[in-house]
Amino acid sequence: MHVLNHLPDKPDAANMLRRHVTGAVHDALEAARCARTEARTLAEWQPVRERWLGAFRAAFPPELFAMRHRPLNARVLARHERRGYFIETVLFESLWGWEVNAHLCLPASPGPWPGVICPTGHSPRTGISYQVPPVVFALNGLAAITFDAPGQGEKGPGSDHFHHGAACLLTGLWSETFFAMDALRAIDYLAARPDIDVSMGVGMTGVSGGGETTMTCVLLDDRIRCSAPVCCTGPQRVLGAEDIYTSCPETMGPGLFGAGIDVTEKLAMAAPVPCLIANAEEDEVYYPSMVAEIVGDLRHTYAICGHPERLEHFEQPGVGHAYTAVMAERVAGWMRRWLLNEIGDVIGLTDPEAVMEPPDVINCRPRPAPNMLTINTARAASLAAARRVGDPVNLRDALRAALAVGDTAPVAVACAESEMSWRNRVERIAIKTEPDVWAPMLFISHIDAPGPRPTVLWIDERGKWTALERESWLLDAGGFLQEYRDPYHVCCLDARGWGETTPEHVAYDFAGWNDITRILAYLSVALGRCLIGQRVRDALAALKYLRTRDDVDGSRIIIGGWGQGALVALFAGLLDGEVAGFLGIEMLAAYRLLADAESFTWTHDIMVPDLLRHADVPETLGALHCPALVLNPVGARREPATDAAFPPTAAVRAGLSEQEVSETSLAWARERLGSASAR
């Protein structure tokens, strides 16, 4: 049963969540654009830059900034002579013992040479876009190092940048950490070699994801004296929030959009570090119009910094998303200008395919672990050991901040015409929980049950209609098709993005890595308002609404849910502090299970950044002021979680059939709420 299309002004339910999230992104980034363009002098610009730079660096763990003092444990594996240059394969350690598999292209001329870091994108470094540029740099007197990105090539297992990258949010690790740290350690490695001269700093350049890493690292390490991001300068304001393309989670750091930071702001913060932005005329991801707009904006920033000559733009006609030899030649000239103070002719390649090496020449065979998964697992264990939950009030405050629920009073309430079903009245109600967000719900009451009565508020990730179909005890509790048995009110809520407000898919979703829920989850994290927190806001608003009704006994409301809906109900129950009980069915037993999992089947909107610093599901259950029942808890792949550790205050039953779940739920609700007519 739908609600919203029965209202006089029908909201666009299938696009409501998308418009809410993307609208918030546009508002935040437009405010940042105004702050940037309205700065007319360096004195006006510097406070803006410092504020953004502080927010950007705060998205990374402190370890990232201290790692250059750790041992590299580097070793050269092999050396190969080529015409005009040499290739060396090397291994060295990044943060937490993570091994970087790299190969260097070194000039044949006597050293020492300046160094250039070439981080790769989302494909193995054996590809032509990664092998050709370092060769061009070496032929032009620059030592260049490149390496596989996490999840690619030899660094594939346990480091999927979507899957494991999303799970890392739970421990406060933005996935971009793993991409940046390898590049920063590559600088450390070059600085430790006697044949590399870093006295004038180093250059950094990469394509696509490697370009993203380049833009990030310039803001983290002042040893980078010039940069050249290639085929990567597309704002998420367009890619994610307009095109609804599911970009990688490393492009959208926690809270960064909320702070006003997109690609243009990242590049602006780096000014006046010399920057050559290269793109391709036929790039199917980063359109030339996007790049031209960013370059135009940046010219203003470089001008007020007093160095307009340090920003250049090169667009290669007739090619698509790639780092070509022509681009590499242009970048080589740029690097020589700023690292060697030399301007002159550049040596190019007549046949780029001829310099391609087979994988067995440049492979390094790094250890499969540590990787994203093992590092995140260890971090989750460390946080669990260090947690001191203590006072439930403190935990509520911490979770309220992590979930960013804000003010939860309903903005408005709209009721459609109710319907009768024998002795039950079904009301279609929508509560406006934010100016552009409606949460629809069905309120079921029995006409033979007058007076303020106990109520069950139910939140189901499958939607309110499926909940009433599958959880038959809800209708039993409401006295539907039964002899009058002291029924309760039942209210089923579609929190935003579920049930009738499920976002419709977009054309990009035909690609396997694209998904409307995933991109909205990433955008919400970047806004500093994770989706599960937004749904908790809806649940809290529903509780406040119910307590305004004369026919609801506000002191006897049970909150519960199924799947992710149970987590929403759990968090809402703790933050509300007045519910009479909590019931979760097939609920994730612990977020720790996601951090530990090689794979999981939960959608990415379940993630709460840095949650495991404060609490996990068992501790949240333990902090509830009311009785709690958990039925058939599940793990990372929604398998039975038979060994989950729950607090003694929560009743847990596993391995129940559907019928047993229904019977147990109804009996427990009646036990908690007592006689419906009792006051």
Q: Domain-by-domain residue ranges, the chain?
A: 44-380, 388-673
User: Would you tell me how many other CB atoms lie within 10 Å of the CB of residue 123?
Assistant: 17
pLDDT (0 to 100) of residue 644: 76
Assess whether pLDDT exceeds 90 at residue 230. yes
Tokens 């909150």, residue located: 559
**Which token pair is 528?**
């500093």
pLDDT (0 to 100) of residue 206: 98
* Pick from 260, 302, 252: nearest CA to 33: 260
* Pick from 413, 494, 422, 510: nearest CA to 459: 494
Say how many CA atoms lie within 13 Å of 402 toward its Cβ: 24
Integer-rounded Cα radius of gyration of the chain: 28
**Mean pLDDT, range 244-250, rounded to an integer:** 91
> Three-state secondary structure along 554-573?
EEEEEEEEECHHHHHHHHHH
- Is 652 in a helix, a strand, or coil? strand
* Pick from 425, 392, 387, 395: nearest CA to 612: 387
pLDDT (0 to 100) of residue 268: 98
**Mean pLDDT, range 555-565, rounded to an integer:** 97
Contact 138, 107 (CB under 8 A): yes
Q: What span, in angstroms and rounded, lies between the C-alpha atoms of 590 and 634?
A: 9
**Which token pair is 181?**
């740290």
* Pick from 434, 497, 411, 406: nearest CA to 460: 497
Angle between helices 13-38 and 42-58 (to 10 degrees): 140
Element (H, E) at 368: none
* Pick from 328, 535, 297, 424: nearest CA to 1: 424
pLDDT (0 to 100) of residue 674: 79
**Mean pLDDT, range 407-432, rounded to an integer:** 89
* Alpha carbon distances (Å) from 139 to 187, 207, 478, 650, 671: 20, 20, 79, 68, 80
- DSSP strand pairing (202-207 vs 224-230): parallel
Which residues sit opposite 227 in a β-bridge?
204, 275
Of 2.20.28.270, 1.20.1250.20, 3.90.76.10, 3.40.50.1820, the CATH number of 388-673 is: 3.40.50.1820
Residue 345, class by beta-carbon neighbours within 10 Å (0-12 exposed, 13-18 middle, 19+ buried)?
A: exposed
Its pTM stands at: 0.95
User: Would you tell me how many other CB atoms lie within 10 Å of the CB of residue 12?
Assistant: 12
Assess whether pLDDT exceeds 60 at residue 233. yes
**Mean pLDDT, range 653-677, rounded to an integer:** 88
Give me the long-range contacts of 286-291 (CB less than 8 A, separation at least 24).
286/231, 286/232, 286/233, 286/234, 286/321, 287/234, 288/315, 290/233, 290/234, 290/235, 290/238, 291/233, 291/234, 291/315
Give me the long-range contacts of 77-86 (CB less than 8 A, separation at least 24).
77/364, 78/361, 80/357, 80/361, 82/135, 82/355, 84/108, 84/138, 84/139, 84/347, 85/135, 85/138, 85/139, 86/138
Strand ranges (E), 412-500:
412-415, 419-421, 424-434, 437-446, 453-460, 489-493
Element (H, E) at 59: none
Domains 44-380 and 388-673 share a fold: yes
Contact 2, 440 (CB under 8 A): yes
Q: What span, in angstroms and rounded, lies between the C-alpha atoms of 443 and 423?
A: 14
Contact 212, 250 (CB under 8 A): yes
Assess whether pLDDT exceeds 90 at residue 187. yes
Contact 441, 3 (CB under 8 A): yes
Strand ranges (E), 575-631:
581-585, 628-631
Contact 567, 593 (CB under 8 A): no
pLDDT (0 to 100) of residue 679: 45
Tens digit of pLDDT for each residue in 507-546?
999 998 899 999 999 999 999 999 999 999 999 999 999 9
Give 676's contacts (C-beta < 8 A, 6+ positions apart): 449, 453, 454, 486, 487, 488
* Domain range 44-380, CATH architecture: 3-Layer(aba) Sandwich (3.40)
**Mean pLDDT, range 583-599, rounded to an integer:** 96
Tens digit of pLDDT for each residue in 503-515?
999 999 999 889 9
**Mean pLDDT, range 295-306, rounded to an integer:** 97
- Is 637 in a helix, a strand, or coil? coil
* Alpha carbon distances (Å) from 211 to 160, 230, 240, 264, 523: 19, 6, 17, 13, 20
Tokens 């490149």, residue located: 146
pLDDT (0 to 100) of residue 645: 84
Q: Which residue has the higher pLDDT, 229 or 481?
A: 229
Give 199's contacts (C-beta < 8 A, 6+ positions apart): none
**Mean pLDDT, range 471-478, rounded to an integer:** 89
pLDDT (0 to 100) of residue 571: 98
Q: What span, in angstroms and rounded, lies between the C-alpha atoms of 151 and 10?
A: 44
Q: What rounded mean pLDDT belongs to the chain?
A: 94
- DSSP strand pairing (143-147 vs 115-119): parallel
Q: What is the DSSP letter of 154?
A: G
* Pick from 59, 170, 167, 168: nearest CA to 611: 170
Residue 657, class by beta-carbon neighbours within 10 Å (0-12 exposed, 13-18 middle, 19+ buried)?
A: exposed
Contact 25, 527 (CB under 8 A): yes
pLDDT (0 to 100) of residue 539: 97
Tens digit of pLDDT for each residue in 2-33?
999 998 888 999 999 999 999 999 999 999 99
Strand ranges (E), 448-538:
453-460, 489-493
Q: What span, in angstroms and rounded, lies between the C-alpha atoms of 79 and 87?
A: 6
CA dihedral 320, 322, 324, 330 (to 10 degrees): 90
Confidence of residue 675 (pLDDT cuts 50, 70, 90): low
Q: What is the DSSP letter of 281?
A: T
Confidence of residue 677 (pLDDT cuts 50, 70, 90): low
Q: What span, in angstroms and rounded, lies between the C-alpha atoms of 295 and 4?
A: 44
The one-letter amino acid code at 326 reads V
Tens digit of pLDDT for each residue in 434-470?
999 999 999 999 888 777 999 999 999 999 999 999 9
Q: Residue ranges of the alpha helices (H) in 340-371?
A: 359-362
**Mean pLDDT, range 313-329, rounded to an integer:** 98
φ/ψ bin of 535: left (φ > 0), alpha (ψ from -120 to 50), beta (otherwise)? alpha
pLDDT (0 to 100) of residue 486: 80
Q: What span, in angstroms and rounded, lies between the C-alpha atoms of 165 and 173?
A: 8
